[in-house]
């Protein structure tokens, strides 16, 4: 199923996805060098790539497998690659400073996820970074996103995302903006931090009452998405 048919069946206008502002956590992770070369992997209709261009990043490229998505992205002037065509990974070894996968990895078949991420690692320059965002199975809407999008193969928590990135060969994996507060006004940050402390305490309390548990090594992240940066 490609993006065209998905949006058609769901009666969603793809252009609704194109009015997108680059998140603060992503600008912070990419840094101030606007000449870094970036690959928007699974970039769809170019909303992320277009936002990076608007923020001043000069070398943004996109890869996708959907013909309608590629056609639209090319129509707005993006440099695009068709992921269905062979040879991309071989032709772009050690090419990019960053590869971004925004809500893409959950669409990989589970048995293929680590091997695909390993190939992506090969197109990064030494020390280059992969930035991954996925729906969070531990969030308040976790199970909803497991089933709302029929094209999702799997869901992630902080621990499972960390695992697949490390298994694919990435190092120095860190979680980005875990409380989803980057870019918020100071008063919203203040109140949300207080409420999150209550939410976390409530979660831990009821785990104890019900005899439930979580993996000790995995940080408790409750925001809608888990965001991580790993290095080649």
CA 9 to each of CA 6, 17, 65: distance values in angstroms, whole numbers, following the listed order: 5, 16, 18
Helix (H, G, I), strand (E, B), or coil: what is residue 131? strand
E-state strands within 94-224: 96-102, 124-135, 171-175
**Adjacent-strand bridge partners of 230:** 130
pLDDT at 207: 94
Please give the full DSSP string across 41-72, using - where no structure is assigned: ET-TTSHHHHHHHHTT--EEEEEES-HHHHHH
Contact (Cβ atoms closer than 8 angstroms) between residue 168 and residue 114: yes
pLDDT by residue (tens digit) across 206-218? 999 999 999 988 9
Amino acid 15: pLDDT:
72
Q: Which residues touch 11 (CB under 8 Å, ≥6 apart)?
A: none
Nearest to 83, CA basis, from 70, 101, 96: 70
pLDDT higher than threshold 80 for residue 12: no
CATH code for 3-181+218-231? 3.40.50.150
CA dihedral 105, 117, 21, 65 (to 10 degrees): -70
**CB of 59 closer than 8 Å to CB of 95:** no
Residue 229 near residue 97, CB atoms below 8 Å: no
Quick check: 112 pLDDT over 90? yes
What are the residue ranges spanned by the domains of the chain?
Answer: 3-181+218-231
Residue 13 — pLDDT band, cuts 50, 70, 90?
confident
pLDDT higher than 80, residue 4:
no
Residue 24, pLDDT above cutoff 80? yes
pLDDT recorded at residue 9: 83
2: pLDDT confidence band, cut at 50, 70 and 90? low
Rounded-to-integer distance, Cα 61 and Cα 53, Å = 10
Q: Say what the pLDDT of residue 19 is.
A: 75
Kindly state the average pLDDT of the residues 18-32: 91
Q: Which residues of 24-55 are buried (b: 16+ CB within 10 A; e: fewer)?
A: ebbbebbeeeeebbbbbbbbbbbbbbbbbbee
How do residues 151-206 score in pLDDT, each as one tens digit?
Answer: 999 999 999 999 999 999 999 999 999 999 999 999 999 999 999 999 999 999 99
pLDDT at res. 7: 75
pLDDT-derived band at 3, boundaries 50, 70, 90: low
pLDDT confidence bin for 16, thresholds 50/70/90: confident
More confident residue, 172 or 13: 172
pLDDT of 142 reads 87
Q: How far apart are CA 165 and CA 232, in angstroms?
A: 10
Cα–Cα distance for residue pair 153/147, rounded to 1 Å: 9
pTM of structure: 0.94
Q: Where are the strands (E) in the chain, listed by range?
A: 37-41, 59-64, 79-82, 96-102, 124-135, 171-175, 225-231
Tens digit of each residue's pLDDT (9 = 90 or more) over 51-101: 999 999 999 999 999 988 899 899 999 999 999 999 999 999 999 999 999
Q: Which residues contact 113 (CB under 8 A, 6 or more apart)?
A: 105, 154, 164
């Amino acid at each position: 199923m490609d993006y065209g048919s998905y949006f058609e069946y769901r009666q969603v206008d793809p252009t609704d996805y194109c009015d997108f502002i680059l998140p603060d956590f992503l600008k912070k992770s990419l840094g101030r060098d606007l000449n870094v070369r970036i690959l928007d992997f699974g970039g769809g209709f170019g909303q992320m790539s277009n936002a990076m261009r608007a923020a001043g990043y000069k070398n943004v490229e996109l890869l996708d497998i959907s013909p309608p998505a590629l056609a639209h992205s090319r129509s707005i002037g993006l440099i695009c690659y068709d992921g269905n065509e062979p040879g991309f990974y071989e032709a772009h070894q050690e090419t990019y400073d960053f590869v971004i996968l925004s809500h893409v990895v959950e669409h990989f078949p589970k048995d293929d996820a680590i091997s695909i991420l390993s190939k992506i690692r090969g197109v990064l320059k030494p020390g280059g970074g992969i930035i991954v965002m996925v729906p969070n199975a531990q969030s308040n809407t976790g199970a909803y996103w497991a089933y709302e999008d029929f094209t999702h193969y799997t869901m992630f928590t902080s621990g499972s995302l960390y695992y697949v990135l490390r298994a694919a060969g990435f190092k120095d994996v860190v979680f980005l903006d875990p409380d989803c507060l980057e870019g918020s006004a100071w008063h919203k940050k203040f109140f949300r931090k207080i409420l999150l402390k209550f939410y976390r305490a409530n979660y831990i309390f009821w785990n104890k009452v019900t005899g439930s548990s979580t993996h000790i090594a995995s940080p408790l992240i409750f925001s809608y998405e888990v965001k991580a940066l790993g290095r080649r």
